[in-house]
Structure formats: C-alpha cells, structure tokens
C-alpha cells in the first residue's frame, strides 16, 4: 500500500517538475510569436489534473505487474513474451491521455515501459525459488525386516 501511494506521488512529481516544464516550453517555442498562450483557469486546471492522474496511474505499473504475478493471474514468462505488445499499448495510452504533441507522449510512454521492466524485475526477485527436494526426503525408507525365528512352541 505504501509503495502504491509513493509511486503515485512520484508520478505527480515527475509530471510537475519535468513534463510541465518541457511541454510548456515546447508549446511556447512552437507557437507563433503573434499568438499569446492565455488559457483560462478551468482549462488549465482540467489539463493539470488530467496529467497528474495520468502520470500517477502510469507510475503504478510496477505494483500492477507484481500483484498480477503474485496472485498467479499471469507468469513472468508470459509478461516477458508480451513485452512488444506492452510497448505499443504504452504509446497508445500516452497518445490518448496526453495533449497532441510528441514530447508529452514520449514523456509518458517511456517511463511506463521502464516501470514495466522494473515491475518484472521486482516480481522475479519476489518469486519463491522452486523447492529442491533433499535426498533424505526423496529416498524411500526401507521397511525394517524382522527375522523369522522358529518358535519352540510352534507345532512341528
């Protein structure tokens, strides 16, 4: 639970300090000099909250990967095999959620892909090694043989 909260906050911090600075600088340099960027407060807050939510959820990818593996929904091998599909999905999600510029799309997709790989590493590290049977436990215990001795009282 703590890791989930910290990763969400880390995603918001990443968005605030890196993404906003880069995106706003990019928009300012691409926009013609005759146009002044003056969004109203409602549009600005909507944009900021959407981006915070998108980056916060995107930074939850390692938690999701570890939970899926620990619960047994999917194996690490299947997640590794699906890596190329995950990369495409990350770019599709980034294209839908972010503004229509390549910079913010890359700034969401690349961390998602890297965090997916971190999730795979953490899930692999948290996996229990297969139980190795000890020799003493695998060998059958021989039954004790009792020697049959003739009784003196037995009929002849």
Q: Is 103 among the domain residues?
A: yes
Query: DSSP assignment, residue 146?
Result: P
Q: Is 46 among the domain residues?
A: yes
Q: Is 67 among the domain residues?
A: yes
pLDDT digits (tens, 9 = 90+) for 113-146: 999 999 999 998 866 655 544 554 555 555 666 6
Q: Is 20 among the domain residues?
A: yes
pLDDT at 138: 56
Residues spanned by the domain of 94? 9-28+40-127
pLDDT at 152: 59
CA–CA dist 22, 100 (Å, integer)? 14
CA–CA dist 123, 83 (Å, integer)? 15
Tally of structural domains, the chain: 1
Q: What is the mean pLDDT of the chain?
A: 83
Q: Is 142 among the domain residues?
A: no
More confidently predicted of 73 and 130: 73
Does the CA dihedral 26-32-36-42 come out positive or negative?
A: negative
- For helices 102-125 and 61-71, the axis angle rounded to 10 degrees is 30
């Amino acid at each position: 639970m703590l890791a989930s909260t910290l990763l969400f906050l880390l995603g918001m911090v990443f968005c605030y300090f890196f993404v906003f600075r880069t995106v706003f600088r990019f928009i300012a340099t691409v926009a013609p000099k005759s146009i002044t960027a003056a969004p109203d407060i409602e549009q600005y807050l909507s944009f900021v909250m959407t981006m915070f939510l998108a980056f916060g959820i995107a930074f939850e990818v390692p938690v999701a990967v570890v939970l899926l593996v620990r619960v047994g929904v999917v194996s690490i091998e299947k997640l590794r095999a699906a890596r190329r599909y995950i990369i495409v999905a990350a770019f599709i999600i980034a294209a839908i959620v972010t503004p229509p510029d390549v910079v913010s799309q890359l700034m969401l997709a690349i961390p998602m892909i890297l965090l997916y790989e971190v999730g795979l590493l953490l899930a692999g590290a948290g996996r229990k090694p297969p139980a190795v049977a000890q020799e003493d436990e695998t060998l059958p215990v021989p039954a004790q043989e009792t020697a049959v001795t003739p009784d003196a009282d037995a009929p002849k």
